[in-house]
Chain A
Amino acid sequence: MVYGALSSAWMAAAVAAAPATAADTAPAAAAPGARTPAAPKPGAPKPGAADSSAPEAPAATAPVAAPDAPPAELKTLDQEVQGLKKDVIDLNKDLFVLQEELLFPANTQVALYISMDVGAFFALDSVTVKIDNKEVKNYLYTAREADALLKGGVQQIYLGNLKVGKHELVAFFTGKGPVERGYKRGATISFDKGVGAKYLELKITDRVPKHQPEFMIKDWE
Protein backbone atom coordinates (compact mmCIF):
# COMPACT_ATOMS: atom_id res chain seq x y z
CA MET A 1 0.00 0.00 0.00
CA VAL A 2 2.79 2.38 0.85
CA TYR A 3 4.53 1.43 -2.37
CA GLY A 4 1.38 2.18 -4.36
CA ALA A 5 0.89 5.45 -2.61
CA LEU A 6 4.45 6.52 -3.31
CA SER A 7 4.19 5.60 -6.95
CA SER A 8 1.04 7.63 -7.28
CA ALA A 9 2.79 10.58 -5.74
CA TRP A 10 5.70 10.17 -8.14
CA MET A 11 3.44 9.96 -11.17
CA ALA A 12 1.60 13.01 -10.05
CA ALA A 13 4.88 14.83 -9.79
CA ALA A 14 5.91 13.70 -13.28
CA VAL A 15 2.60 14.81 -14.82
CA ALA A 16 2.88 18.17 -13.18
CA ALA A 17 6.31 18.48 -14.79
CA ALA A 18 7.80 19.16 -11.43
CA PRO A 19 11.56 19.43 -11.24
CA ALA A 20 13.12 16.06 -10.96
CA THR A 21 13.60 15.88 -7.30
CA ALA A 22 11.82 12.64 -6.66
CA ALA A 23 14.74 10.48 -7.41
CA ASP A 24 14.24 6.77 -7.21
CA THR A 25 10.84 6.18 -5.87
CA ALA A 26 9.18 3.13 -7.40
CA PRO A 27 10.42 3.37 -10.93
CA ALA A 28 8.60 0.13 -11.72
CA ALA A 29 5.34 1.97 -11.34
CA ALA A 30 6.36 4.70 -13.77
CA ALA A 31 4.82 4.96 -17.18
CA PRO A 32 6.60 2.91 -19.80
CA GLY A 33 9.32 4.90 -21.45
CA ALA A 34 9.32 7.50 -18.73
CA ARG A 35 12.83 8.52 -17.86
CA THR A 36 13.84 9.05 -14.30
CA PRO A 37 16.74 11.22 -13.41
CA ALA A 38 19.95 9.59 -12.26
CA ALA A 39 19.35 7.96 -8.95
CA PRO A 40 21.23 9.29 -6.00
CA LYS A 41 22.80 6.93 -3.54
CA PRO A 42 20.15 4.90 -1.87
CA GLY A 43 19.43 6.76 1.27
CA ALA A 44 15.90 5.72 0.88
CA PRO A 45 13.51 5.51 3.75
CA LYS A 46 12.59 2.03 4.88
CA PRO A 47 9.76 0.24 3.07
CA GLY A 48 7.42 0.62 5.99
CA ALA A 49 7.57 4.37 5.91
CA ALA A 50 4.17 5.99 6.14
CA ASP A 51 5.16 9.20 4.47
CA SER A 52 3.49 9.04 1.13
CA SER A 53 3.22 12.71 0.27
CA ALA A 54 6.78 13.74 -0.31
CA PRO A 55 7.61 13.51 -3.95
CA GLU A 56 10.67 15.62 -3.36
CA ALA A 57 12.16 13.24 -0.86
CA PRO A 58 14.33 10.53 -2.22
CA ALA A 59 11.94 7.97 -0.85
CA ALA A 60 12.86 4.69 -2.44
CA THR A 61 10.91 1.82 -1.03
CA ALA A 62 12.84 -0.72 -2.98
CA PRO A 63 16.50 -0.52 -3.83
CA VAL A 64 15.87 -0.50 -7.59
CA ALA A 65 18.59 0.96 -9.75
CA ALA A 66 17.84 3.40 -12.55
CA PRO A 67 16.38 1.49 -15.50
CA ASP A 68 18.87 2.87 -18.08
CA ALA A 69 22.14 1.60 -16.59
CA PRO A 70 21.56 -2.20 -16.32
CA PRO A 71 20.68 -2.87 -19.98
CA ALA A 72 23.74 -1.02 -21.29
CA GLU A 73 26.01 -2.72 -18.79
CA LEU A 74 24.57 -6.12 -19.52
CA LYS A 75 24.95 -5.56 -23.24
CA THR A 76 28.62 -4.67 -22.83
CA LEU A 77 29.19 -7.63 -20.56
CA ASP A 78 27.48 -9.95 -23.01
CA GLN A 79 29.61 -8.64 -25.85
CA GLU A 80 32.72 -9.19 -23.78
CA VAL A 81 31.70 -12.72 -22.96
CA GLN A 82 30.98 -13.48 -26.61
CA GLY A 83 34.31 -12.00 -27.55
CA LEU A 84 36.10 -14.14 -24.99
CA LYS A 85 34.32 -17.26 -26.21
CA LYS A 86 35.36 -16.53 -29.76
CA ASP A 87 38.96 -16.01 -28.64
CA VAL A 88 38.91 -19.33 -26.80
CA ILE A 89 37.59 -21.14 -29.86
CA ASP A 90 40.19 -19.54 -32.11
CA LEU A 91 42.98 -20.40 -29.66
CA ASN A 92 41.76 -23.96 -29.44
CA LYS A 93 41.79 -24.23 -33.21
CA ASP A 94 45.32 -22.84 -33.43
CA LEU A 95 46.53 -25.16 -30.70
CA PHE A 96 45.06 -28.17 -32.48
CA VAL A 97 46.75 -27.24 -35.75
CA LEU A 98 50.08 -26.62 -33.99
CA GLN A 99 49.79 -29.91 -32.14
CA GLU A 100 49.23 -31.79 -35.39
CA GLU A 101 52.14 -30.06 -37.04
CA LEU A 102 54.38 -30.84 -34.07
CA LEU A 103 53.37 -34.47 -33.55
CA PHE A 104 52.76 -35.37 -37.17
CA PRO A 105 55.01 -33.16 -39.31
CA ALA A 106 54.19 -33.27 -42.99
CA ASN A 107 57.43 -34.98 -44.00
CA THR A 108 56.66 -38.10 -41.93
CA GLN A 109 52.88 -37.96 -41.74
CA VAL A 110 50.75 -40.82 -42.97
CA ALA A 111 46.97 -40.75 -42.75
CA LEU A 112 44.46 -43.49 -43.47
CA TYR A 113 40.87 -42.84 -44.36
CA ILE A 114 38.05 -45.34 -44.68
CA SER A 115 34.93 -45.09 -46.77
CA MET A 116 32.07 -47.42 -47.61
CA ASP A 117 29.87 -47.59 -50.67
CA VAL A 118 26.32 -48.94 -50.68
CA GLY A 119 26.98 -51.78 -48.20
CA ALA A 120 24.36 -54.21 -49.40
CA PHE A 121 26.78 -57.12 -49.12
CA PHE A 122 28.78 -56.19 -46.04
CA ALA A 123 28.00 -54.85 -42.59
CA LEU A 124 31.20 -53.48 -41.10
CA ASP A 125 32.06 -54.47 -37.55
CA SER A 126 35.75 -53.71 -37.08
CA VAL A 127 38.94 -52.80 -38.90
CA THR A 128 42.48 -53.73 -37.90
CA VAL A 129 45.42 -51.98 -39.52
CA LYS A 130 49.02 -53.18 -39.52
CA ILE A 131 51.96 -51.23 -40.93
CA ASP A 132 55.19 -53.17 -41.42
CA ASN A 133 53.70 -56.06 -39.48
CA LYS A 134 52.94 -53.94 -36.44
CA GLU A 135 49.35 -53.35 -35.38
CA VAL A 136 48.70 -49.62 -35.33
CA LYS A 137 44.94 -49.47 -35.10
CA ASN A 138 41.99 -51.63 -34.13
CA TYR A 139 38.66 -49.88 -34.45
CA LEU A 140 35.22 -51.23 -33.48
CA TYR A 141 32.29 -49.69 -35.28
CA THR A 142 28.93 -49.09 -33.67
CA ALA A 143 25.77 -49.29 -35.75
CA ARG A 144 25.60 -45.52 -35.84
CA GLU A 145 29.18 -45.16 -37.09
CA ALA A 146 28.71 -47.79 -39.78
CA ASP A 147 25.54 -46.04 -40.85
CA ALA A 148 27.42 -42.74 -41.11
CA LEU A 149 29.96 -44.38 -43.43
CA LEU A 150 27.17 -45.77 -45.57
CA LYS A 151 25.70 -42.31 -45.89
CA GLY A 152 28.90 -41.05 -47.40
CA GLY A 153 31.02 -40.25 -44.38
CA VAL A 154 34.79 -40.64 -44.57
CA GLN A 155 36.63 -41.44 -41.36
CA GLN A 156 40.26 -40.71 -40.58
CA ILE A 157 41.01 -44.03 -38.97
CA TYR A 158 44.74 -43.53 -38.38
CA LEU A 159 47.26 -40.72 -38.24
CA GLY A 160 50.90 -41.51 -37.62
CA ASN A 161 54.52 -41.04 -38.60
CA LEU A 162 56.59 -43.10 -41.00
CA LYS A 163 60.17 -42.76 -42.20
CA VAL A 164 60.93 -42.21 -45.82
CA GLY A 165 61.17 -45.51 -47.72
CA LYS A 166 59.19 -48.62 -48.55
CA HIS A 167 56.40 -49.76 -46.25
CA GLU A 168 53.64 -52.35 -46.27
CA LEU A 169 50.12 -51.79 -45.01
CA VAL A 170 47.66 -54.60 -44.31
CA ALA A 171 44.05 -53.99 -43.31
CA PHE A 172 41.63 -56.62 -42.02
CA PHE A 173 37.92 -55.96 -42.31
CA THR A 174 35.56 -57.93 -40.08
CA GLY A 175 31.82 -57.89 -40.32
CA LYS A 176 28.78 -59.71 -41.64
CA GLY A 177 28.74 -60.72 -45.26
CA PRO A 178 25.93 -61.90 -47.51
CA VAL A 179 23.31 -64.02 -45.76
CA GLU A 180 24.45 -62.62 -42.38
CA ARG A 181 27.52 -64.85 -42.28
CA GLY A 182 30.66 -63.82 -40.45
CA TYR A 183 33.11 -62.27 -42.85
CA LYS A 184 36.78 -61.39 -42.55
CA ARG A 185 38.84 -60.15 -45.43
CA GLY A 186 42.21 -58.49 -45.81
CA ALA A 187 43.73 -56.06 -48.24
CA THR A 188 47.36 -55.07 -48.60
CA ILE A 189 49.39 -52.37 -50.28
CA SER A 190 53.09 -51.66 -50.54
CA PHE A 191 53.95 -48.01 -50.90
CA ASP A 192 56.84 -45.62 -50.98
CA LYS A 193 56.83 -42.96 -48.33
CA GLY A 194 58.47 -39.91 -49.75
CA VAL A 195 58.92 -36.43 -48.42
CA GLY A 196 55.51 -35.01 -47.72
CA ALA A 197 52.34 -36.36 -46.20
CA LYS A 198 50.96 -39.66 -47.48
CA TYR A 199 47.23 -40.26 -47.65
CA LEU A 200 45.74 -43.70 -48.23
CA GLU A 201 42.13 -44.74 -48.56
CA LEU A 202 40.60 -48.02 -47.41
CA LYS A 203 37.56 -48.49 -49.57
CA ILE A 204 34.76 -51.01 -49.22
CA THR A 205 32.46 -51.38 -52.19
CA ASP A 206 29.90 -53.85 -53.44
CA ARG A 207 30.87 -56.00 -56.36
CA VAL A 208 27.38 -56.50 -57.69
CA PRO A 209 28.00 -59.18 -60.37
CA LYS A 210 29.52 -61.49 -57.79
CA HIS A 211 27.27 -60.42 -54.89
CA GLN A 212 30.35 -59.95 -52.76
CA PRO A 213 31.97 -56.97 -51.08
CA GLU A 214 35.28 -55.70 -52.40
CA PHE A 215 38.06 -54.27 -50.26
CA MET A 216 40.85 -52.15 -51.63
CA ILE A 217 43.55 -49.75 -50.49
CA LYS A 218 44.64 -46.97 -52.75
CA ASP A 219 46.34 -43.63 -52.77
CA TRP A 220 43.90 -40.93 -51.91
CA GLU A 221 44.07 -38.35 -54.63
Chain B
Amino acid sequence: MRRAFLAGCLILGAATAGASLAAAPTMVGKPAPDFVLRGLDGRNLRLSEFRGQVVLVNFWARWAGDSQKEMSALDRINTTYQRAGLVVLGVSVDEDLRRAQEFASSMAVSYPMLFDTGSVIGKDYFLQKMPMTILVDRAGVVRYSIVGFKRGDEHIFLDQIRELLRE
Protein backbone atom coordinates (compact mmCIF):
# COMPACT_ATOMS: atom_id res chain seq x y z
CA MET B 1 0.00 0.00 0.00
CA ARG B 2 2.80 2.30 1.03
CA ARG B 3 4.81 1.38 -2.03
CA ALA B 4 1.84 2.03 -4.26
CA PHE B 5 1.35 5.41 -2.61
CA LEU B 6 5.03 6.35 -3.06
CA ALA B 7 4.97 5.20 -6.67
CA GLY B 8 1.87 7.25 -7.28
CA CYS B 9 3.52 10.31 -5.77
CA LEU B 10 6.60 9.81 -7.92
CA ILE B 11 4.54 9.48 -11.06
CA LEU B 12 2.49 12.55 -10.20
CA GLY B 13 5.63 14.53 -9.40
CA ALA B 14 7.26 13.54 -12.68
CA ALA B 15 4.14 14.43 -14.62
CA THR B 16 3.94 17.81 -12.92
CA ALA B 17 7.62 18.49 -13.45
CA GLY B 18 7.34 17.49 -17.07
CA ALA B 19 4.37 19.75 -17.52
CA SER B 20 6.11 22.65 -15.79
CA LEU B 21 9.26 22.19 -17.88
CA ALA B 22 7.19 21.97 -21.03
CA ALA B 23 5.33 25.14 -20.10
CA ALA B 24 8.44 27.03 -18.91
CA PRO B 25 8.99 30.17 -20.98
CA THR B 26 12.13 30.30 -23.00
CA MET B 27 14.13 32.91 -24.83
CA VAL B 28 14.98 30.63 -27.74
CA GLY B 29 14.23 32.36 -31.02
CA LYS B 30 13.98 35.79 -29.44
CA PRO B 31 16.52 38.61 -29.37
CA ALA B 32 18.75 38.33 -26.32
CA PRO B 33 17.83 41.12 -23.88
CA ASP B 34 20.76 43.46 -23.56
CA PHE B 35 22.55 43.88 -20.27
CA VAL B 36 25.64 45.55 -18.89
CA LEU B 37 27.35 44.14 -15.81
CA ARG B 38 30.57 44.70 -13.89
CA GLY B 39 33.21 42.02 -14.23
CA LEU B 40 35.62 40.49 -11.78
CA ASP B 41 38.39 42.60 -13.26
CA GLY B 42 36.40 45.80 -12.74
CA ARG B 43 35.51 46.27 -16.41
CA ASN B 44 31.92 46.75 -17.48
CA LEU B 45 30.77 44.53 -20.33
CA ARG B 46 27.66 44.97 -22.46
CA LEU B 47 26.19 42.02 -24.34
CA SER B 48 25.22 44.02 -27.42
CA GLU B 49 28.83 45.05 -27.97
CA PHE B 50 29.53 41.47 -29.00
CA ARG B 51 27.03 41.60 -31.86
CA GLY B 52 28.58 39.86 -34.82
CA GLN B 53 30.17 37.18 -32.65
CA VAL B 54 28.73 34.00 -31.23
CA VAL B 55 28.21 34.43 -27.49
CA LEU B 56 27.81 31.75 -24.87
CA VAL B 57 26.33 33.09 -21.63
CA ASN B 58 26.51 30.82 -18.62
CA PHE B 59 24.33 31.78 -15.65
CA TRP B 60 25.68 30.25 -12.47
CA ALA B 61 25.52 30.36 -8.71
CA ARG B 62 27.76 28.99 -5.96
CA TRP B 63 24.98 26.88 -4.54
CA ALA B 64 24.30 25.10 -7.86
CA GLY B 65 26.51 22.03 -7.67
CA ASP B 66 26.84 21.61 -11.43
CA SER B 67 28.24 25.11 -11.91
CA GLN B 68 31.79 24.14 -10.98
CA LYS B 69 31.91 21.21 -13.41
CA GLU B 70 30.40 23.29 -16.14
CA MET B 71 32.89 26.12 -15.70
CA SER B 72 35.82 23.77 -16.26
CA ALA B 73 34.23 22.53 -19.46
CA LEU B 74 33.45 26.05 -20.63
CA ASP B 75 37.00 27.13 -19.90
CA ARG B 76 38.27 24.47 -22.28
CA ILE B 77 35.74 25.51 -24.91
CA ASN B 78 36.75 29.16 -24.55
CA THR B 79 40.43 28.37 -24.93
CA THR B 80 39.76 26.38 -28.08
CA TYR B 81 37.18 28.53 -29.85
CA GLN B 82 38.01 32.06 -28.77
CA ARG B 83 40.13 32.61 -31.85
CA ALA B 84 37.27 31.40 -34.02
CA GLY B 85 35.05 34.21 -32.76
CA LEU B 86 33.36 32.66 -29.75
CA VAL B 87 32.82 34.83 -26.67
CA VAL B 88 32.10 33.12 -23.37
CA LEU B 89 30.60 35.12 -20.50
CA GLY B 90 29.92 33.82 -17.02
CA VAL B 91 27.15 35.61 -15.12
CA SER B 92 26.73 35.09 -11.41
CA VAL B 93 23.22 35.50 -10.04
CA ASP B 94 24.43 35.05 -6.47
CA GLU B 95 23.11 37.76 -4.17
CA ASP B 96 26.23 37.65 -2.02
CA LEU B 97 28.69 39.56 -4.18
CA ARG B 98 31.77 38.99 -2.03
CA ARG B 99 31.37 35.23 -1.90
CA ALA B 100 30.53 35.06 -5.57
CA GLN B 101 33.70 36.98 -6.38
CA GLU B 102 35.78 34.69 -4.15
CA PHE B 103 34.32 31.65 -5.86
CA ALA B 104 34.92 33.10 -9.32
CA SER B 105 38.52 33.94 -8.40
CA SER B 106 39.11 30.43 -7.16
CA MET B 107 37.83 28.96 -10.44
CA ALA B 108 40.39 31.04 -12.36
CA VAL B 109 38.70 30.63 -15.73
CA SER B 110 39.93 32.38 -18.84
CA TYR B 111 36.66 34.12 -19.72
CA PRO B 112 35.04 37.18 -18.13
CA MET B 113 32.97 36.69 -14.98
CA LEU B 114 30.14 39.17 -14.49
CA PHE B 115 27.98 39.71 -11.42
CA ASP B 116 24.25 40.38 -11.31
CA THR B 117 23.59 40.83 -7.62
CA GLY B 118 20.24 42.47 -8.18
CA SER B 119 18.94 39.53 -10.20
CA VAL B 120 17.89 42.05 -12.78
CA ILE B 121 18.58 40.05 -15.89
CA GLY B 122 17.34 36.82 -14.37
CA LYS B 123 13.78 37.92 -15.05
CA ASP B 124 14.58 38.88 -18.63
CA TYR B 125 16.02 35.43 -19.31
CA PHE B 126 13.41 33.42 -17.39
CA LEU B 127 16.04 31.90 -15.13
CA GLN B 128 14.41 29.15 -13.13
CA LYS B 129 17.11 26.56 -12.63
CA MET B 130 20.87 26.86 -12.26
CA PRO B 131 23.11 26.56 -14.08
CA MET B 132 21.64 27.68 -17.36
CA THR B 133 23.55 28.31 -20.56
CA ILE B 134 22.35 30.12 -23.63
CA LEU B 135 23.93 30.51 -27.04
CA VAL B 136 23.40 33.78 -28.90
CA ASP B 137 24.08 33.92 -32.62
CA ARG B 138 25.81 36.68 -34.53
CA ALA B 139 22.55 38.58 -35.01
CA GLY B 140 21.89 38.67 -31.28
CA VAL B 141 19.17 36.00 -31.25
CA VAL B 142 19.06 33.28 -28.59
CA ARG B 143 19.37 29.99 -30.45
CA TYR B 144 19.89 27.40 -27.72
CA SER B 145 19.14 27.16 -24.06
CA ILE B 146 20.47 24.37 -21.88
CA VAL B 147 19.53 23.89 -18.24
CA GLY B 148 21.78 21.92 -15.92
CA PHE B 149 25.04 20.20 -16.72
CA LYS B 150 26.33 16.67 -16.41
CA ARG B 151 29.50 14.95 -17.51
CA GLY B 152 29.44 14.48 -21.25
CA ASP B 153 27.26 17.52 -22.00
CA GLU B 154 30.32 19.31 -23.34
CA HIS B 155 29.89 17.68 -26.74
CA ILE B 156 26.37 19.10 -26.97
CA PHE B 157 27.79 22.59 -26.53
CA LEU B 158 30.49 21.91 -29.10
CA ASP B 159 28.05 20.76 -31.77
CA GLN B 160 25.91 23.82 -31.34
CA ILE B 161 28.85 26.21 -31.16
CA ARG B 162 30.37 24.85 -34.35
CA GLU B 163 27.04 25.19 -36.10
CA LEU B 164 26.70 28.84 -35.11
CA LEU B 165 30.31 29.68 -35.91
CA ARG B 166 29.82 28.31 -39.41
CA GLU B 167 26.95 30.69 -40.08
A interface vs B, CB < 8 Å? 125-126, 140-145
A144 CB contact (under 8 Å) in B37, B38, B49: B49
Q: State the CA gap A210–B45 with chains docked (Å).
A: 32
Closest A-chain residue to B118, C-beta based?
A138
Can you show 18 pairs from A to B with CB atoms below 8 A apart?
A125-B44, A126-B44, A140-B36, A140-B37, A140-B38, A140-B44, A141-B44, A142-B36, A142-B43, A142-B44, A142-B45, A142-B46, A142-B49, A143-B43, A143-B44, A144-B46, A144-B49, A145-B46
Residues of B with C-beta under 8 A to A140: 36-38, 44
Which residues of chain B are within 8 angstroms of A142 by Cβ–Cβ distance?
Answer: 36, 43-46, 49
A141→B42 CA distance, assembly (Å): 11
Q: Which residue on B lies nearest to A145, using beta carbons? A: B46
Interface of B is mostly: strand
Q: In the complex, how many angstroms separate the beta carbon of B69 from the nearest chain A beta carbon?
A: 30
* Docked complex Cα distance between A140 and B48 (Å): 14
4 A-B pairs with least C-beta separation: A140-B44, A140-B36, A142-B44, A142-B46
Q: What distance in Å separates the Cβ of A189 from its nearest Cβ neighbour in chain B?
A: 26
B48 to chain A, nearest CB (A): 10
A126 to B38, CA, bound (A): 10
Chain A residues whose C-beta falls within 8 Å of the C-beta of B46 in the assembled complex: 142, 144-145
- B window 30-59: CB within 8 A of A: 36-38, 43-46, 49
- Minimum distance in angstroms from A140 CB to a CB of chain B: 4
How near does chain B come to A122, taking the closest CB pair, in angstroms?
Answer: 16
Tell me the minimal C-beta distance from B116 to chain A in angstroms: 12
Given A140-B36, A140-B37, A144-B49, 15 more pairs with CB closer than 8 A: A125-B44, A126-B44, A140-B38, A140-B44, A141-B44, A142-B36, A142-B43, A142-B44, A142-B45, A142-B46, A142-B49, A143-B43, A143-B44, A144-B46, A145-B46
Min CB gap B29→A, angstroms: 21
In the complex, what residues of B have CB within 8 A of residue A144's CB? 46, 49
Please name the residue on chain A nearest to B36 by beta carbon: A140
Contacts of B45 in A (CB 8 A): 142
Which residues of B have CB within 8 Å of A125? Answer: 44
Q: Report A144 CB to chain B, min CB distance, Å.
A: 6
CB proximity of A185 to chain B, nearest CB, Å = 19
| Nearest-Cβ distance from residue A126 to partner chain B, whole angstroms | 8
Q: Please, how many angstroms separate the alpha-carbon atoms of A140 and B121 in the complex? A: 14
Q: How many angstroms between the C-alpha atoms of A141 and B36 in the bound complex? A: 8
**Interface code B62-88, partner A: CB below 8 Å = 1, 0 otherwise?**
000000000000000000000000000
Q: What distance in Å separates the Cβ of B46 from its nearest Cβ neighbour in chain A? A: 5
